[in-house]
Structure formats: C-alpha cells, structure tokens
Amino acid sequence: MLNIAQGPLEECRYDLILAADLKCGSNTTLVPQAEEVSKILDAYSKAILTPDS
C-alpha cells in the first residue's frame, strides 16, 4: 500500500523539477518537503515490514 503512495510522490517531484526548469515559479519549500515525505514513507514501510525481535 505504501508503494502506491510513492508513485504519486515521485510524479510530484518530477513536476517540481519540470516547473523549475521552465521557470514557472519557486519550489524552494516544496522540494525539501517532498524529500521529507519520501523519507517518512520509506521509514514507515521498513518499520511495518521488519518483524519484531
């Protein structure tokens, strides 16, 4: 289920890069936020998939 969330997140990151390349506004706050969300999803996914010791 978390892999499903990663897809749209990567699409958003791509769109932010494209917008910057096209000079369609500033994304200085959005890029770090997208990276943080990616890290959170990754950590949550690993926590769920790792069996308790």
Q: Which two tokens stand for residue 35?
A: 């990276």
Q: Quick one: pLDDT at residue 48?
A: 87
The Cα 48–Cα 42 span in angstroms is 10
Query: What is the pTM for the complete model shown?
Result: 0.74
Question: What one-character-per-residue DSSP string does 2-34 give?
Answer: HHHHHHHHHHHHHHHHHHHHTT-S--TTHHHHH
pLDDT digits (tens, 9 = 90+) for 5-49: 888 999 999 999 999 999 988 888 998 999 999 999 999 888 888
Q: Quick one: pLDDT at residue 47?
A: 87
The answer to whether residue 2 scores a pLDDT higher than 70 is no
The answer to whether residue 53 scores a pLDDT higher than 60 is no
CA atoms within 13 A on the CB side of 14: 6
Instruction: Return the DSSP state at 52.
Output: P
